[in-house]
Amino acid sequence: MKYEEEVFKVINNIEKGNKSAIDKAKKRVDSLAKPLGSLGKLEEIAIKLAGITGKINNEINKKCIIILSSDNGVVEEGVASSPQYVTLAQTINFSKGITGVAVLAKENNTDLFVIDIGVNCDGEIPGAINRKIRKGTYNIAKGPAMSYEEALKAIYIGIDMVREAKEKGYEIVGVGEMGIGNTTTSSAVLASLLNCEIEEVVGKGAGLTDEAFKRKIEVVRRAININKPKKNDPIDVLSKVGGFDLAGMVGVYIGAAYYKLPVVIDGFISAVAALLATKLCQDIKDYLIASHISKEIGYKIAIDNIGIDPMINLDMRLGEGSGCPIAFSIVNYACAMMNNMATFEEAEIDPSYLEEIRDKKSYIVNKK
């Protein structure tokens, strides 16, 4: 298969959010019996959903999180607090329902699609879909993580998983990952894309000693110096300093936009993948919903560069897609507001007192 041709065929057919539906949704939101803008992000989400689906009234009943699992060769450099075998262990544990994201997903009737896109093991992983490219990437501190073609293949796998989710009737997807060492690769990708200071984007991940943290910064610096990723070519950046998990997540965002599904960003790694996707196609932003503010240092830089706001702050930094099922609940609340709340007319309230406020534009909805 010619992965480049297939990936860019999808990218080139992504459409912007439906402006007519967005305008009608804004009008509906402003007609509801409440002070203008008073339901804040619930209003923003309801309006964004209209742009995605083309419908003013939406319901989100069938939900899933697509989790990309892969190992990263850079763990050789001692940049992770957990040993590499944890990638495999947790990938197995997703299907057992005992990981962080699994228990949160179960609480919100959310299904998990766990994809082995590059776990360092032989044979099938129980409960995982086998789309393994190979057993982990190469060490980015010594050379490119993968070939350009492998990066495109991983992106294609993510797109294809969204196709499958769409065909199975899922109405919203979240994006998760599992891969020891992937905060290092994500930091390297972010620094390369934005040409920012490495110290601004490298965090302690799951928890590092001060000595290991300093080593992690130097490893990211070395990886960028050795590989010289081209910031204007997101796939080149991915292939040189990224990971199969990151590339697969990029594909999920691309696929969600193509198949017109709302897609929820989790934390730091998920946000870096979303930024990569928007670098490939800016219109993907119209389909993105940010869940929570990650405690990882580079998260704010990534999400600000996308240009969207997260909805909650729970001081989370687990990853796995753990913020997505929580965000799904808030999306449901936005739908409930839009579908069931009375308008001023239905509530028999004269809204004329709001005209002066409207004229002065003293409230803001969809500020970005």
Catalytic positions, written as ranges:
320
Give CA separation, 337 vs 40, 41, 320, 342, in Å.
11, 11, 29, 9
- Determine the 3-state secondary structure of 116 from DSSP: strand
Where is 259: in which H helix or E strand? none
Please give the helix or strand (H or E) that residue 150 lies within, else none: helix 148-167
CA distance 313 to 326: 11
The DSSP symbol for 74 reads G
Tell me the angle at which helices 19-31 and 323-340 cross, rounded to the nearest 10 degrees. Answer: 70
8 Å CB contact between 258 and 287: no
Measured distance CA(248)–CA(271) in Å, rounded: 13
Three-state SS annotation for 272-287: HHHHHHHHHCHHHHHH
Enter the DSSP assignment of 342: P
Decide: helix, strand or coil at residue 69.
strand
CA distances to 48, 95, 354 from 67, rounded to whole Å, are 24, 11, 46
Q: Which amino acid is at 100?
A: G
DSSP structure class, residue 115: E
Helix (H, G, I), strand (E, B) or coil at 111: strand
Tokens of 52: 């995605």
Query: Which residues share a beta bridge with 109?
Result: none
For the chain, the C-alpha Rg in angstroms (whole number) is 21
Decide: 144 and 240 in contact? Cβ < 8 Å.
yes
Residues 299, 241: Cα–Cα separation, whole Å = 18
CA distance 67 to 165: 13
